[in-house]
Amino acid sequence: MGLDDALIFTRVVEHHSFTQAANSLNMQKSTVSRRIVLLEERLGVRLLNRTTRKLRLTEVGAAYYERCRQIMLDFAEAEQAVMQLQQEPSGLLRITAAVEFGQQFLGRVLGEFMRQYPSITAEVELTSRNVDPVEEGVDIVILVGQPQDSTLVARKLFEARCRLCASPAYLAAHGTPTCSEDLAQHRAILLQRDASRYWPLLDDTIACERVLLCNNITFAREAVLAGAGIAALPNMICELAIREGRLIELLPEAALPTVEVYAIYPSRRFQAMKVKTFLDFLMKSLAEQQARELEPAMAGLLILAT
């Protein structure tokens, strides 16, 4: 109530009239008059000398008005600053992202975004751990796989098709599988999300000899390149190596799972302009990636979310 009374008081002083102050505040004149009386009673001082023709500040009233006027100016400035944040992306943008997505794509996109919006600063953590954006004060979490927390907003960015890959050296030593059943005789490199006794095929249950289990796609690719075994790798990780002949795609007709990537954030209501603008920029960049060859390793990677 104190801030409301200060606003009413400053309007009365500035308009030199209870009637005009009431009109500016969309209030009844009687309500404005009563609130001033109550304010004076609460403070225990007389702020205004009233006659039928004019209002005049008392000495205490003049001092009180200067303080109230400054408060109103500060309040208006604070509102303007908040609205400005919603009009032009600015401030600190905190992002956590899956390591591979961050290395292959996010760094360049965020750099372009910051060049376009120089009032943006950023903190980025590339990690495989689970991050709660509310608890840790993170604006956007870029997550590989299905989100688990239904209280957060999840925006699907894309799906990456997986391909079975092996190195020429491995195939020279162990032979090349010609059908999915042949995989039972081959060494499997699996990610923890696929950890099982079977190859990650959608339409076949083929037992595998698991020789390596890891939690990082890039690590798995390097092991495949070194000849340790066969792995199902997302296109974003293996495309360039396949083009260069360092990896061989196996059984291209096999049905493999896709890797889904989501942007997770706390709420759509009153979403900061920096978050909304960056998410839109990220989606646009992902779409444009399909049509250009700036990063051969990412070419053909995406099934964009709609």
pTM of the model: 0.60
Question: pLDDT at position 239, please?
Answer: 86
Residue with tokens 């205490």: 60
**Residues facing 68 on adjacent strands:** none
d(CA 81, CA 236): 41
**Measured CA angle at 192 (ends 186, 196), to 5 deg:** 50
Task: Report the range of poorest mean pLDDT among 56-60, 157-161, 255-259, 294-298.
Answer: 294-298
For the beta carbon of residue 71, count every other beta carbon within 10 angstroms. 15
Would you say the CATH fold of 91-158+261-296 matches that of 2-87? no
d(CA 188, CA 185): 9
φ/ψ bin of 83: left (φ > 0), alpha (ψ from -120 to 50), beta (otherwise): alpha
Contact indicator for 239, 55 with CB cutoff of 8 Å: no
- Does the domain at residues 2-87 carry the CATH identifier 3.90.1170.50? no
Helix (H) or strand (E) run with residue 87 in it: helix 59-87
CATH superfamily of 91-158+261-296: Periplasmic binding protein-like II (3.40.190.10)
| Chain segment 204-250, per-residue pLDDT in tens | 888 888 999 988 888 999 999 999 999 999 887 888 899 999 999 99
Considering the domain delimited by 160-258, tell me its CATH architecture: 3-Layer(aba) Sandwich (3.40)
Sign of torsion over alpha carbons 51, 56, 58, 61? positive
Torsion angle defined by CA atoms of residues 201, 206, 211 and 215, in that order, rounded to the nearest 10 degrees: 30
- Mean pLDDT, residues 135-149: 86
Parse the chain into domains and list their residue ranges: 2-87, 91-158+261-296, 160-258
Contact indicator for 196, 185 with CB cutoff of 8 Å: no
